Structure 1
Amino acid sequence: MKFHFAHNNFNVINLEKSLAFYKEALGLVEVKRKVAPDGSFVLVFLSDGSSVHQLELTWLRDWGKASYNLGDNEIHLAFTVSAMEEAHALHKKMGCICYENEKMGIYFISDPDGYWLEIIPARD
């Protein structure tokens, strides 16, 4: 028996805002969408176009709260990038950098719902 990563899920408050963020910040694009027949939820799967792993964004109609409680937010997704300086400049311009560790050569960005995304330089 062998298991393979499929996707991670983030619940979001404003689906369109989140989709725009992930496209601009990380180049992720929608590859699949499932809408509940009663409209109670929408699932959108995002892809980087090269790996099989996807990010699932879930919008819940009846959530009714202004935000999700992410606790200490000690979990995150990590992305490698071949052009670290260019990525950093983009994220700085977007105002989404929430933590930098210059010694390690990494930084984190925060999405519209407060989820942290680690940016790591690609290694040859």
Structure 2
Amino acid sequence: MSQAEIDALTTEFFGSFDNRDGKGADVARLRGLMLPGGVIVVTAPEYHAYTVEEFIGPREELLAPGGRVTGFHEWEVSARTEIHGGVASRVGEYAKAGVMEGKPFEGGGMKTIQFVRTPDGWRISAFAWHDRP
């Protein structure tokens, strides 16, 4: 059961950034998917560490209807998950596509997501990613 729950949580995580069909992305949904003290890190093109709240605000603006990025979505290409009791780790390749300031783009990279089982179910405690150049 845990693998299916983690797969569903991961799908919902990636879906929170989707703003295709003119809708705004539901990045605020991360508040329910992550622990309140969760950590978010990007390592490339530039290193930056965020709290959940620091991460959500700029992405809501970026992915809002009429924002700089439209038609955006990202998805897992491949992933491996290890579950040990109430902790799990997932490493996977992802792809993304959208339109930034009127110009179509595609990209991808690697993400690692750390999960913990709480009394309310599995939650993300941290995630980090590295975009390919």
TM over 0.5: no
* TM-score of the two chains, using structure 2 as the length reference: 0.26
Q: Which has the higher helix share?
A: 2
Q: Which has the higher strand share?
A: 2
Q: Which has the larger radius of gyration?
A: 1
